[in-house]
């Protein structure tokens, strides 16, 4: 089996490669690339690279994920998330490769009461959410596909909410954090394991894939501080209050990002709870600090 990973320099792409190596896949059977090595918006370049490697599975982790910037850079966001995905899918069909695509909770408007299932109607309210759904539609042209709707991602190889909170805790003893957006923080180490499980399966389709249990951003922040021994008071505010306090303008964010994982549980098993994931990520951060000190 040969595996191609796009967006390797991101949090998820990095951990997908680590997971493949852990399972005994050799380096020469993994092509982990980023935009420097392959511009997914360039059809000819994509064809040359993918056909040259001829993978069995493509983990398509590359994406335009700057949610707020996407509102003013819709053409660039569309080029990466839609045209880029189309290019990947076109060549995947030619090479008979399975495509595993990362989508998002932003395909929903977040107004539903209760959990979102894979069958619920989408209604993206941001450029980012819309382009990721259009990417999903491209991926569905390949019968051998997995679409994974993920949310609130954190991993060792990049910026994320946990790193931001810990950085802010160095010079703040009080922070305003949104309490009316609820979802599931998701650790790329856990996510990567499920994605690699999918790569060896033919249970194709759309799946909600996040860590178990739910929280608001404020509850997430509070747990980050407590689990890291930081004495920071979290003021729970509404989205509107936060925007007023900070004077910022943001793209639309779903209030309810609770995704139902019944289908995931039946086919691949549930991911651990988000609290368990944060504890293990804290350990990974400590190990990272030790490595930096040694260097």
> Which single residue is written with the structure tokens 């990272």?
288
Residue 30 resides in a domain: yes
The closest alpha carbon to 95, from 4, 186, 157, belongs to 4
* Total count of domains within the chain: 1
Residue 162 tokens read as 């946990």
Residue 60 resides in a domain: yes
Residue 227 contacts by C-beta under 8 Å, 6 or more apart in sequence? 275, 278, 279, 282
pLDDT at residue 137 in the model:
98
pLDDT at residue 102 in the model:
98
Mean pLDDT of 216-244: 97
Identified catalytic residue from 3, 128, 214, 242: 128
What's the pLDDT band for 291 if we cut at 50, 70, 90?
A: confident
Residue 136 resides in a domain: yes
Report yes or no: 21 and 29 within 8 Å, Cβ to Cβ: no
Mean pLDDT of 204-233: 98
Report yes or no: 234 and 222 within 8 Å, Cβ to Cβ: yes
Residue 261 phi, psi (nearest 5): -110, 25
The Cα 36–Cα 55 span in angstroms is 19
Average pLDDT, rounded, for the chain: 97
Residue length of the chain? 295
What's the pLDDT band for 295 if we cut at 50, 70, 90?
A: low
pTM of the prediction?
A: 0.96
What's the pLDDT band for 293 if we cut at 50, 70, 90?
A: confident
* 128 among known catalytic residues: yes
Residue 239 resides in a domain: no
Q: Which tens digit of pLDDT belongs to each residue from 110-120?
A: 999 999 999 99
For the cut 70, the answer to whether the pLDDT of residue 219 exceeds it is yes
For the cut 80, the answer to whether the pLDDT of residue 141 exceeds it is yes
For the cut 70, the answer to whether the pLDDT of residue 156 exceeds it is yes
Mean pLDDT of 137-163: 98
Mean pLDDT of 247-255: 94
The Cα 210–Cα 232 span in angstroms is 27
Domain that holds residue 50: 3-159+184-213+257-272
Residue 266 resides in a domain: yes
Residue 22 resides in a domain: yes
The Cα 274–Cα 98 span in angstroms is 28
The closest alpha carbon to 150, from 22, 8, 274, belongs to 274
pLDDT at residue 165 in the model:
98
Q: Which tens digit of pLDDT belongs to each residue from 158-206?
A: 999 999 999 999 999 999 999 999 999 999 999 999 999 999 999 999 9
Mean pLDDT of 18-23: 98
Mean pLDDT of 260-280: 98
| Distances in whole angstroms, Cα of residue 189 to Cα of each of 18, 19, 65, 185, 210 | 9, 8, 19, 12, 11
Residue 123 DSSP class: -
**Which residues sit opposite 176 in a β-bridge?**
235
Report yes or no: 285 and 277 within 8 Å, Cβ to Cβ: no
Mean pLDDT of 283-295: 87
Q: What percent of the chain has pLDDT over 90?
A: 97
Any idea what the Cα angle at residue 14 is, between residues 86 and 156, rounded to 5°?
Answer: 130
What's the pLDDT band for 292 if we cut at 50, 70, 90?
A: confident
Residue 273 tokens read as 């709870």
| Distances in whole angstroms, Cα of residue 128 to Cα of each of 42, 80, 137, 215, 291 | 20, 11, 15, 22, 35
| Distances in whole angstroms, Cα of residue 188 to Cα of each of 85, 106, 156, 209, 277 | 21, 18, 8, 11, 9
CATH code where residue 37 lies = 3.40.50.720
What's the pLDDT band for 282 if we cut at 50, 70, 90?
A: very high
């Amino acid at each position: 089996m040969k595996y191609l990973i796009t967006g390797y320099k991101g949090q998820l792409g990095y951990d997908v490669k680590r997971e493949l190596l852990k399972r005994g896949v050799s380096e020469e059977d993994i092509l982990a690339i980023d935009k420097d090595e392959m511009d997914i918006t360039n059809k000819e370049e994509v064809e040359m690279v993918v056909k040259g490697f001829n993978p069995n599975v493509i983990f398509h982790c590359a994406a335009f994920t700057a949610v707020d910037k996407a509102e003013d850079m819709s053409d660039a966001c569309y080029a990466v998330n839609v045209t880029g995905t189309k290019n990947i899918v076109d060549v995947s069909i030619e090479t008979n490769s399975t495509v595993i695509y990362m989508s998002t909770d932003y395909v929903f408007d977040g107004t539903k009461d209760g959990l979102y299932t894979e069958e619920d109607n989408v209604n993206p309210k941001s450029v980012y959410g819309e382009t990721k759904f259009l990417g999903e539609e491209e991926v569905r042209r390949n019968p051998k596909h997995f679409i994974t709707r993920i949310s609130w991602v954190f991993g060792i190889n990049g910026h994320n909410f946990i790193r931001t909170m810990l950085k802010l805790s160095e010079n703040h003893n009080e922070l305003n954090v949104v309490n009316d957006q609820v979802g599931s923080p998701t650790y790329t180490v856990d996510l990567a394991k499920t994605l690699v499980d999918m790569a060896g399966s033919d249970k194709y389709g759309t799946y909600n894939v996040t860590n178990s249990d739910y929280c608001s951003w404020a509850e997430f922040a509070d747990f980050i501080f407590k689990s890291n021994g930081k004495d920071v008071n979290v003021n729970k505010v509404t989205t509107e209050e936060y925007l007023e306090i900070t004077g910022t303008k943001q793209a639309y964010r779903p209030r309810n990002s609770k995704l139902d994982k019944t289908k995931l549980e039946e086919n691949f098993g549930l991911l651990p709870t988000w609290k368990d994931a944060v504890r293990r990520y804290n350990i990974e951060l400590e190990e990272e600090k030790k490595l930096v000190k040694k260097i």
